[in-house]
């Protein structure tokens, strides 16, 4: 795993802690999958695959890759995922160990963490929504935000 993943929308971007982004997107995929099949858009399987793939591949998240309807559903799922994670008090190592998509040891995947608290995941979800809407405050000149770390939002760069 790379530890950080760029999340981009237009000319704006921030970095996300890959563990947090993977957890958030996995939960977002669950949210979307719970929608009755007859009400899901025809393109849902592609978006669901993108969300689940992020859990193991850690590729750049290019929000402009999605059309308006796809982005809207993505943001709705991410927002609901953060709400659910917050309501249950975070994500435990045991929960992650039960995810079939993770082929390696959950403790290793979580970089030794036994529990991921909800606050950084909620903050990351908010940052994704704000970035997409163009309302994320800019980082200081020459630097970038990093969201989803156990310590919360930090600044990267010199």
Domain residue limits, the chain:
4-157
Cα–Cα nearest to 122, from 156, 80, 92:
80
Element (H, E) at 28: helix 18-33
Alpha carbon of 14 to those of 17, 85, 120: distances in Å?
10, 22, 14
Per-position pLDDT tens, the chain of length 158: 459 999 999 999 999 999 999 999 999 999 999 999 999 999 999 999 999 888 778 788 999 999 999 999 999 999 999 999 999 999 999 998 888 877 777 778 888 889 999 999 999 999 999 999 999 999 999 999 999 999 999 998 76
Contact 121, 148 (CB under 8 A): yes
pLDDT of residue 1: 45
Cα–Cα nearest to 15, from 149, 111, 110, 141:
149
Q: What φ, ψ does residue 49 adopt, rounded to 5°?
A: -65, -40
C-alpha–C-alpha distance, residues 122 and 133, integer Å? 17
Structure tokens that stand for 48 in this block:
């669901």
What sections of the chain are H helices per DSSP?
A: 18-33, 44-57, 68-87, 93-97, 106-109, 118-133
């Amino acid at each position: 795993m790379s530890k950080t993943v760029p999340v981009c929308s237009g000319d704006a971007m921030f970095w996300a802690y890959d563990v947090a982004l993977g957890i958030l997107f996995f939960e977002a995929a669950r949210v979307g999958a719970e929608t009755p099949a007859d009400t899901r858009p025809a393109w849902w399987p592609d978006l669901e695959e993108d969300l689940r793939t992020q859990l193991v591949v850690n590729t750049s998240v290019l929000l402009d890759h999605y059309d308006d309807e796809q982005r809207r559903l993505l943001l709705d799922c991410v927002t609901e995922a953060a709400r659910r994670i917050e309501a249950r008090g975070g994500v435990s190592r045991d929960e992650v160990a039960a995810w079939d998509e993770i082929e390696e040891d959950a403790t290793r995947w979580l970089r030794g963490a036994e529990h991921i608290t909800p606050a950084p995941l909620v903050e990351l979800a908010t940052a994704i929504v704000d970035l997409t809407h163009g309302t994320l405050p800019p980082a200081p000149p020459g630097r970038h935000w990093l969201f989803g770390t156990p310590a919360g939002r930090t600044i990267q760069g010199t």
